[in-house]
């Protein structure tokens, strides 16, 4: 008899249902792919970007997915380096989510550049002073690491595991996974920071510019910190969504609780640091360049001062305070609400650091630069989401992603 494709002991939906689901998501994916091809073929004129808005929707998506994909490195860090063994219940999923996020990020970058066929110049003619160079190197390396972290899991598919060679390969890789996790953590710390540096070093953009130490603006550290705080929240959120869709409990609540607690403490410390940074920027850095805080906000539905409140208080302090209190964490609704808010807060932060940077006028005689994305941009931004859903669906169906699934769903 053939070795089954589906891991033993777990229940999966019937093939037709799965196929239908894949077809639906696949259609969205194809739409995205079509837009992507348009952009490659016809050029970036397919977007609504312009010379004032050189970074737009998908760069925000890029930064956001990288930040949220940070769940992988931080959970890895906690699991393999700090030794929180309990987190093994979710580390696989964190790695997959990270893998999706990072591969999406690389894909977006390949779509985003005006000359994709020359993309490798960033490595070949690297300018070591550029934050983007740092990003490109770390991002690519870390993606390699994530791939390596992902492979053993793939090899655990029953049919693949049936091959002795693959089985041993997988086993050996597991043995040395801590090394990769450590490398990944290091790389990730760096590129999350570099991404923060991307905006923070722009001393021509008073809204983005931050002072710092050596070559690193404070945003360098804040980005890493916020990714460490909000990445796990995203992992929790996606796990919860997966559980809702599959109708099964997949990860033990104490695993989630632990991760949420750590994320909560990361978030509260982050948001305090972020608040100090904001205050220093608003009271010292920006006025030194001739700006008051309110110069950076206007009576626009998005770019009003409310966005700062939303980022720091509503999606910062509020979820952080919920997550660090036991009662908050243990309340299912509050837990999900707060990880959702944290994810939103982190996304707002990345939005602000990409899109608002472009929108704020630097000259007193300029007006705000406003932009709305073209459908091609929206489609290519949704493309990674569809891709992620597909990859997650496949992984969940065919790989033993959740080690606790069997014991949590004994009825099968």
Partner 1 sequence: MKIDRRKFLAGFSACVGGGAVGSMLSPLPWKVMDDVAIWTQNWPWTPVPQDGRYSYVQSVCALCPGGCGISVRKVKSRAVKIEGLKDHPAGNGGLCPLGLSGLQYLYGPARVKSPLKRVGKRGEGKWQPISWDAAISEVSQKLNELRARNKPHSLAWISGENKGILAGLIDRFLKVYGSPNVLRDSTAHDAIDQAAYHTQGQRGTVFWDIENADFILSFGAGLMDGGWPLARMNGFPKSADGGKTLIQVEARLSDTAAKADLWVAANPGTEGVLALGIAHVMIRELIYNIDFINRQASGFEDGVMGGDQVLQGFKSMVLEKYKPEKVSGITGVPVDAIFDIARRFAKSDKAVAVCGRGHGRVAGCMDEALAVHYLNALKGNIHQPGGVFVVADPDYVRFPEPGMDKIAEYGLGQTRVDGAQSEKFPNSRYLLHRLPEIINTADGDSPVQALLVSGANPLYTIPDGKSVKKSFDKIPFIASFSPFMDETAVYSDVILPDHTYLECYRDIVSQGSMDGIVVSLAKPVVRPLYNTSHLGDVIIQIAKALGGYIETAFAWKSYESLLEETFADNWETITSSGYIRMNPQIPGTVATSFNTPSKKFEFNINAGAPEAPFSSAFEKIAMEGDAQNYPLTLIPYDSIRLAGNYPANPPFMTKIIDDTVLKKTHGCIEINPATAKQLRLSEGDAVKLSTPRGEADVQIHLYEGVMPGVIALPRGLGHTAYSEEWGLYGKGVNVNDLMGPIEDPVSGFNMAWGIRAKLTKI
Partner 2 sequence: MKESATHETARRYGMVIDLDKCTGCGACMVSCYAENNVPFKKDESNKLDSINWIRVVKMTNQKPYPDTQICYLPMPCMQCDGVGKHGHSPCVSVCPAVATDYDFTTGIVSQIYTRCFGCRYCMAACPYHARKFNWWDPVWPADMEKYLSPNVSPRMRGVVEKCSFCFHRYQLARDKAYQEERAELEENEYQPACVEACPVKAMTFGDLNNPAHAVYELKNHKHAFRLLERLETNPKVYYISSKEWVRRNGDNYLPDEAPGRLKSKAKARH
Min. distance of Cβ 121 from partner 1 in angstroms? 7
The verdict on 309 binding partner 1 (CB under 8 A) reads no
Q: Do residues 210 and 219 make contact, with C-beta atoms less than 8 angstroms apart?
A: yes
326 belongs to the binding site for partner 1 (CB under 8 A): no
Annotate 313-324 with b (16+ C-beta within 10 A) or e (fewer): eebbbbbbebbb
Q: Does 115 bind partner 1 (CB under 8 A)?
A: yes
Which residues sit at the interface with partner 2, rule CB under 8 A? 43-45, 49-55, 112-116, 118-119, 121-122, 124-127, 129-133, 136, 198, 201-206, 287-292, 295, 357-358, 362-365, 369
Q: Rank residues 123 and 375 by Cβ distance to partner 1 and give the closer one.
A: 123
Q: Name which of partner 1, partner 2, none residue 206 binds, using a CB cut-off of 5 to 8 Å depending on partner kind.
A: partner 2
Closest to partner 2 by CB, 15 or 115: 115
Distances (CA, A) of 341 to 100, 317, 334, 345, 410: 21, 10, 10, 6, 33
What distance in Å separates the CA atoms of residue 30 and residue 24, rounded to the nearest whole number? Answer: 10
Number of residues that bind partner 1 (CB under 8 A): 5
45 contact, one of partner 1, partner 2, none, CB 5-8 Å limit per kind: partner 2
- In whole angstroms, the minimum distance from the beta carbon of 118 to partner 1 comes to 5
DSSP state of 216: E
Which CB, 87 or 358, lies closer to partner 2? Answer: 358
**Selection from 174, 183, 219 nearest residue 198 by Cα:** 219
Smaller CB separation from partner 1, 118 or 244: 118
Q: Exactly one of 1, 23, 117, 128 binds partner 1 (CB under 8 A); which one?
A: 117
Residue 118, both tokens: 């020359």
Q: Does the footprint of partner 1 cover residue 118 (CB under 8 A)?
A: yes
Write down the least CB distance from residue 125 to partner 2, Å: 5
Residue 172 C-beta: closest distance to partner 2, Å:
36
- The nearest distance, CB 221 to partner 2, in angstroms, is 19
Contact partner, 365, from partner 1, partner 2, none, Cβ < 5-8 Å per class: partner 2
* Stretch of residues binding partner 1 (CB under 8 A), selected from 111-119, 185-193, 215-223, 329-337: 111-119
Candidates 37, 54, 81, 121: give the one binding partner 1 (CB under 8 A): 121
CA-closest candidate to residue 186, choices 89, 81, 261: 81
Residue 159 is encoded by which pair of tokens? 């049919």
Contacts to partner 1 from residues 335-354, by CB under 8 A: none
73, 97 contact by CB (below 8 A): no
Give the largest CA-CA distance in the chain: 76
The minimum distance between CB 142 and partner 2, in angstroms, equals: 17
Three-class SS state of 54: coil
Q: How far is CA 186 from CA 27, 104, 105, 139, 141, in A?
A: 38, 21, 19, 11, 11
Residue among 46 and 75 whose Cβ is closer to partner 1: 46
User: What SS3 class is residue 240?
Assistant: helix
Residue from 4, 5, 120, 179 binding partner 1 (CB under 8 A): 120
Q: Which stretch binds partner 1 (CB under 8 A): 49-57, 113-121, 207-215, 389-397?
A: 113-121
Q: Which is nearer to partner 1, 372 or 411 (CB)?
A: 372
**Structure tokens, 185:** 């953590």
Q: How far is CA 226 from CA 88, 233, 408, in A?
A: 22, 11, 32
Q: Using H for helix, E for strand and C for coil, what is the string for 166-214?
A: HHHHHHHHHHCHHHHHHHHHHHHHHHHHHHHHHHHCCCCCCCCCCCEEC
State the residues that interact with partner 1 by CB under 8 A: 115, 117-118, 120-121
């Amino acid at each position: 008899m053939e070795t089954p494709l589906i891991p033993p002991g777990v229940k999966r939906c019937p093939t037709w249902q799965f196929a239908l689901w894949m077809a639906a998501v696949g259609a969205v994916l194809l739409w995205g792919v079509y837009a992507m091809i348009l952009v490659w073929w016809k050029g970036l004129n397919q977007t609504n970007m312009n010379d004032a808005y050189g970074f737009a929707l998908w760069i925000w998506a890029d930064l956001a997915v990288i930040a949220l994909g940070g769940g992988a490195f931080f959970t890895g860090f906690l699991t393999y380096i700090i030794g929180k063994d309990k987190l093994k219940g979710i580390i696989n999923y964190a790695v997959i989510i990270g893998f999706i996020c990072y591969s999406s990020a690389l894909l977006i970058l390949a779509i985003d550049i005006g000359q994709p066929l020359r993309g490798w110049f960033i490595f070949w003619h690297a300018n070591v002073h550029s934050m983007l160079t740092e990003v490109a190197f770390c991002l690519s390396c870390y993606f390699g690491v994530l791939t390596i972290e992902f492979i053993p899991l793939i090899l655990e598919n029953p049919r693949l595991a049936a091959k002795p060679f693959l089985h041993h390969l997988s086993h050996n890789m597991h043995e040395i996974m801590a090394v990769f996790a450590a490398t990944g953590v290091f790389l990730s710390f760096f590129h999350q920071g570099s991404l923060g540096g991307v905006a923070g070093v722009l001393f021509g953009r008073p809204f983005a510019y931050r002072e710092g130490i050596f070559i690193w603006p404070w945003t360098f550290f804040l980005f890493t910190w916020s990714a460490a705080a909000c990445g796990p929240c995203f992992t929790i959120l996606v796990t919860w969504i997966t559980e809702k869709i599959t109708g099964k409990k997949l990860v033990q609540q104490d695993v989630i609780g632990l991760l949420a607690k750590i994320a909560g403490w990361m978030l509260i410390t982050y948001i305090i640091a972020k608040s100090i940074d904001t205050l220093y920027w608003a009271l010292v850095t920006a006025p030194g360049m001739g700006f008051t805080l309110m110069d950076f906000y206007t009576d626009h539905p998005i770019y009003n001062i409310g966005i700062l409140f939303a980022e720091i208080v509503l999606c910062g302090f509020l979820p952080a305070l919920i997550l660090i209190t036991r009662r908050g964490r243990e309340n299912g609704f509050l837990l999900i609400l707060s990880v959702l808010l944290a994810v939103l807060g982190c996304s707002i932060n990345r939005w602000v650091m990409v899109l608002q940077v472009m929108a704020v006028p630097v000259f007193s005689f300029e007006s705000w630069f406003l932009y709305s994305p073209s459908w091609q941009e929206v489609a290519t931004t949704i493309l990674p989401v569809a891709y992620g859903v597909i990859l997650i669906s496949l992984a969940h169906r065919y790989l033993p992603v959740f080690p606790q699934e069997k014991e949590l769903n004994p009825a099968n």
